[in-house]
Amino acid sequence: DIQMTQSPSSLSASVGDSVTITCQASQDIGTNLHWYQQKPGKAPKLLIHDAINVETGVPARFRGRGSGTSFTFSIRSLQPEDVATYYCQQFDDLPRVTFGPGTKVDIK
């Protein structure tokens, strides 16, 4: 089974800061990875698909990079509405689709 880890598990940053989350896969998954944002009490929302592609309608301050086993998700100029938990999801090991444990982002 492919194991997904995310770091940090939580972070706190100021409005306007840049933040970066890392997602690691236990084996090569190419670019078979998506990123979702989940605000408190809400359903997840797709932000980045196939590791690097920003979903239509998602602000350009969100960015995804990486391939293979190491991936990063970045928010440039953090905004109050970005408070959420962010999850990576791999779909390489089908049908064993798995999410990372999540990274909670707060505002200082």
Partner 1 sequence: QVQLQESGPGLVKPSETLSLTCTVSGGSISDHSWSWIRQPAGKGLEWIGRVYASGTTKYNPSLKSRVTMSVDRSKNQFSLKLDSVSAADTAVYYCARDRGRWVSDYWGRGTLVTVSS
Residue 15 CB, shortest distance to partner 1, in Å, is 26
Residue 93 CB, shortest distance to partner 1, in Å, is 10
Residue 17 near residue 76, CB atoms below 8 Å: no
Residue 77 CB, shortest distance to partner 1, in Å, is 25
Residue 66 engages partner 1 in binding (rule: CB under 8 A)? no
Judged by CB under 8 A, the chain residues 75 through 104 that form the site for partner 1 are 87, 89, 91, 94-102
Residue 16 engages partner 1 in binding (rule: CB under 8 A)? no
HSE-CB at 62 with a 13 A cutoff on CA atoms is 22
Residue 11 engages partner 1 in binding (rule: CB under 8 A)? no
Could you tell me which residues come within 8 angstroms of residue 4 by beta carbon, excluding any fewer than 6 positions away?
Answer: 23, 24, 25, 26, 88, 89, 90, 98, 99, 100, 101
Residue 43 engages partner 1 in binding (rule: CB under 8 A)? yes
**Euclidean distance between CA atoms 30 and 22, whole angstroms:** 15
For partner 1, the binding residues (CB under 8 A) are: 32, 34, 36, 38, 42-46, 49-50, 55, 87, 89, 91, 94-102
